Structure 1
Amino acid sequence: MPAKKSSALDKNRAKEAANQYAAAASQAWLVASGLATEIEALRWTTDSIPIPAPGLEQALEEATRAAMDSTSAADRIFTLLEQLLDTGTVAAVRRALSECEQRCADTQLWTRRLAQLCLGVTTFLAGNDAIALTERAAVIVLVAPFGERRTLPTDGLHTTASNYETLNIELAGILCRLIIEHDWMIELSVTSAAASDTATKVTVAFSHSGILELHSNNPTVPSQAWHDPVVVAEPVAHLIELFRRLTVDANEPFEQFAIRLTEPTLHPPR
């Protein structure tokens, strides 16, 4: 019995969608590759040891893999559309379109994470025209070059820090993105050295009036504010010093350290 034909799929629209997703993935990968190259070059511009770039290799690898998956799925769609469009082929085309779209979105996600990392690295460099250009490019990636804007709550936190030196960079990138986006805040939790079962919570938020505010549920941690333009290295240094003071074991701090996104409010946590 011949396979049943299906007219539920518009071949031209499927081809157009596949082309758009593959092109967007390729564009995002090219931006990711450029950002990774700039990060690698900039982190070696200091006179001493290179600035850490936690997660750099993973982010570029993931962006590359996702872009390749998206473009491969697009090629598969074109091959399938040359066949008789029975129900099985239509289902295969739809699966490939879904993969093409998702992997395109994944490429863009890893590109935004590279942009965030880039800002974390440049936070600790002396400013010049080249660095300003790189920072402007990173901000543009975060603002929405690929269409609909994706914020950090949508992307989710992705941290790889294993010591204070790498946490320094990741916190700087996160705070830069917080300042760019305004409308969310982070909550950092550290186990208190005074009582191992008590967690100190610190919230950081950037208001539309241009103030970066820090509050805590720990009475020994005073509230703090940095006014626009915020020199991001300053609140980062303040947070790192705070974590060093509160952590149970200064040599292995990350067993007690946690960071998450929370509701946008400037009230101290209770």
Structure 2
Amino acid sequence: YMLASSLTMVLSQRLGRRLCASCKTIVQHDEKTLLNAGFEEEELEGLQLYGPVGCAKCNGLGYKGRVGFFELMEVTEEVAKAISAEVPEEQLRKIAIQEGMVPLRRAGLRKAMQGVTSLEEVMRRTVVQKESLPAYLVNPEVEEYENGDVIIQEGNKDHDFFKLIRGKVAVIKSGKKIAEITEPGEYFGEMASLMKEPRFASVVSIGRCTIKRYPGDKLLEVIEKYPDIAKKIFKTLVARVQKTDRMVVKLANGGHARPQVVRHA
């Protein structure tokens, strides 16, 4: 209790080598390496990383100077409660991340994405902190579909939910396409899982696509225990509601977008 009440923050840091700005070059890494390093699937598209070469300015090392990777845990009310309760380290880290802490590995990856250092340097100086996820999240079913294949059938009573990995799919209601899902990492099919109702619409593959299937009876558990994943699901839901709202307003205005409201200070 005394520790939790007197502590305000905890700072961890590592020093890595800074890439030489005069000779650094773009390098390629395979998908497995990037995912194992800690990148999210949705970060891979367009990802550009740099590596060392070596020149006269850096004495042939490819690196010149140092860069810091920082992990700052602010002792918020929730973190203080966790410390007082003597929760396991893994649970404490999870709470701290929910409260805004950026882990060392993630801080290092951000520096790599900015071209400040190399992925190899980040992996050498930091470790990935993988939370213990259940098997259904770590190794979900991966399914491949061809053009026109039905992934979800309107009216069916199954409750699994899905995540798009590659390609795109169409949402079909009563034979009419009402939406497309095109962003890798976007979830779909979760409404039937949440509401325990028959499928509102069909989902059909456009061209080839790859998806991951998750058990619908585990969705509430995911939302309660794994906030990072829940955040992505809710982000998808909010975007979908906003899009539907714009469509309704457009129809209400006779096919025209909502009139712009000018606000005066």
**TM-score with structure 1 length normalisation?**
0.26
Q: Higher helix fraction: Structure 1 or Structure 2? A: 1
Q: Higher strand fraction: Structure 1 or Structure 2? A: 2
**TM-score with structure 2 length normalisation?**
0.26
